[in-house]
Chains A and B, each alone.
Chain A
Amino acid sequence: MKRLLALLILAVAVFGAARSGSAEPVAPTRAVADALGRDIPLPAGGNFSGVRWEQAGELSREQITAVLHYNAACQWLRAWRDGRAPVTALAGLASWPAWRGTETAKVLAEVEHQARTGGGPLLEGVLRDCDASHAREVEYARSLGLKPSG
């Protein structure tokens, strides 16, 4: 019964988010994020359990998607750097719809270029940010009793 109730709450949250349009904030965010993140490709062992949705307040559906995608991009970059994914895995990151026409698209395009051509300061900076984030995510996921990302 409890499981049915939880499923019902999740369905209402996701359905509500889908109906609410781009600017409308949605809650509960982790449940919505879990649903939205299901279709985002991740390297082996990846997940979004360490994102601090509980501290984020209200977020729009689009923002949740953008955060999930940026987090996924970080996971792919770390996987490539650590030899768990080929450089070709970075090829589509900059063109993900979550940041079409945005500053993030330009940054990730340059990051991918630097990854293919022997490195550069932007790649180094973004990876450093991703590493720091991963350390925080592992800690936060564990504090919630969730499995951290790899």
Chain B
Amino acid sequence: MDRRCVALCAAACAVLALPAAAPAQVTTDLNNWNLTETPNWWGGGTQFHISSSGDGTASYRWLDSPNKTTVIAAHRCTDVSLINSVAISVNNTSYHHLFSAWAGVCFMLRGRTAIGSGSMVNHDGRVRR
């Protein structure tokens, strides 16, 4: 086997060994979201869409460690119906799966604090889709 063949084989092996490209999720930061025990809409009802480049899921996380249990819900832009909601515990900054769909699906986010826990002010979050 000549050197050129070895080099070609090595290059081919290197390409095959590369992991498949991960889907490129789109993220948007939600800065200073003030939550109370009454649900309120992020941005007065900002519309988000499941991206074409992602994996077809929508997730939410707090960037600032939350000092209250919060409930974040995704609602459809078409008829305001609820898609799903997740409860996020105190100090939890992991992503929480909201729903799975397909590219283009439009949704809005609504949040509140746990009943009896009072308000949570100026916390930043991130939606990934």
Residues of A within 8 A of B (CB): 22-23, 50-53, 55-60, 62-63, 66-67, 70-71, 74, 99, 102-104, 107, 111, 121-126, 128-130, 133, 136-137, 140
Contact = CB atoms under 8 A, between A and B. Distances in A.
A129 B104 contact: yes
Given A129-B101, A129-B106, A52 B52 contact: no
A125 B50 contact: yes
20 contacts: A50-B79, A52-B79, A57-B110, A59-B41, A63-B44, A67-B77, A70-B106, A107-B49, A122-B52, A122-B104, A124-B104, A125-B103, A128-B102, A129-B76, A129-B101, A130-B78, A133-B76, A133-B79, A136-B81, A137-B78
B38 A57 contact: yes
Interface string B23-44: 0000000000000001111001
Contact of B45 (A55, A63, A122): A63
A124 B101 CA distance: 12
A130 B103 CA distance: 13
B98 interface: no
A74 B106 CA distance: 11
| 9 nearest A-B residue pairs (beta carbon) | A63-B45, A125-B104, A133-B78, A126-B104, A60-B44, A125-B102, A56-B80, A125-B103, A70-B77
Contacts, number: 99
B72 to A, nearest CB: 14
Interface of B: 38-41, 44-50, 52, 75-82, 101-106, 108, 110
Contact of A71 (B45, B78, B82, B105): B78
A70 B39 contact: no
Contacts of A66: 45, 47, 77
A88 to B, nearest CB: 21
Nearest to A128: B102
Most buried by A among B81, B101, B102, B108: B81
A62 B80 contact: no
Nearest to B39: A57
Nearest to A111: B104
A57 to B, nearest CB: 5
A60 B47 contact: no
Contacts of A123: 104
B78 A129 contact: yes
Nearest to A48: B79
B45 A70 contact: no
Contact of B78 (A22, A56, A74): A74
A25 to B, nearest CB: 8
